[in-house]
Structure 1
Amino acid sequence: MAYSDRELLARLVQCEAGGEGENGMKAVASVVMNRVHAPGGEYARVGRGSLRNIIFQPGQFVCASETENGRYNAQNIYNMRPEAIHYEIADWAMAGNRLSPLGQALWFYNPYSPLCRENFPSEVGIFTHRIGDHCFYDPLDAYFQT
């Protein structure tokens, strides 16, 4: 299917953070758009300013994959049915807005525990905030060498 960038972001936000409340969804949208506009490193090379390239970069978002570990992934963006709030958050993020405590966060993950790792992924990101179940990470200078 040929979804617009707005539709893709709304679906990804719903899939990745639909149960995290408005700030959780805004945080995920902020990370996605930070990647789109990354001034260097892997996301600048892969994304080249394209939301679609960022969302569909292999291994980045479980929700952008129809299969995980060789099995069908029922929770994917194609099975989402975004509501008005998801489109509002997509529009908000695409207009250049970011959730203020996140800075330039490029990564998030759910540790399924109350603690967030200090660095993620590996040694190129440093923990900045936890919002809901997700830990968020800003890039270190080492990221821009990736």
Structure 2
Amino acid sequence: MKAVATVVMNRVRVPFGEYHRVGQGDIRKVIFQKGQFDCVRSVIRGISNPQTIWANPPEQIHYDIADWALSGNRLFTVGYSLWYFNPFKPTCPYTFPRNGTGSFQVRVGDHCFYNPTEKYAQT
């Protein structure tokens, strides 16, 4: 959860590229940017999403991690990652997303995390 919180805050703080342009440093714009986080989408691929933030009330651990991230903390192993995903494989592809704007940083549990490349600055 801290790794994902780090990605969210990296998107809030990134000084260039798409997330800077769209999010403008506003955490709400970052979280609710279309197609970014499944937990804020009520429908995914035409099917109702049961894992929304509205269907699953937060527990104390969620508040604690949000406070941790909003206080400026981050997982240094995640670096400046702007993306993460579960490849459902034992290995992580070197680049992600498909347009090559991210390069592999670290795997945390089942998820692969990606730092922005120079190409990302052009987005």
User: Aligned letter for 1:105?
Assistant: S
Aligned counterpart, 1:43: 19
Q: Aligned-pair distance for 1:64?
A: 1.1
Q: Aligned-pair distance for 1:36?
A: 0.7
Q: Aligned-pair distance for 1:142?
A: 0.7
RMSD after superposition: 0.7
Q: 1:44-83 maps to which residues of 2 (within 5 A)?
A: 44-83=20-59
Structure 1 stretches of 4+ with a deviation exceeding 2 A read none
Unmatched tracts of structure 1, length 5 or more: 1-24
User: Percent same amino acid among aligned pairs?
Assistant: 55
Which structure is higher in helix share? 1
TM-score normalised by the chain length of structure 2: 0.96
Aligned counterpart, 1:124: 101
TM-score normalised by the chain length of structure 1: 0.81
Cα distance in 1, alignment partners of residues 26 and 90 from structure 2: 34
Aligned counterpart, 2:121: 144
Secondary structure in 1 matching 2:39: helix
Secondary structure in 2 matching 1:136: strand
Aligned counterpart, 2:82: 106
Unmatched tracts of structure 2, length 5 or more: none
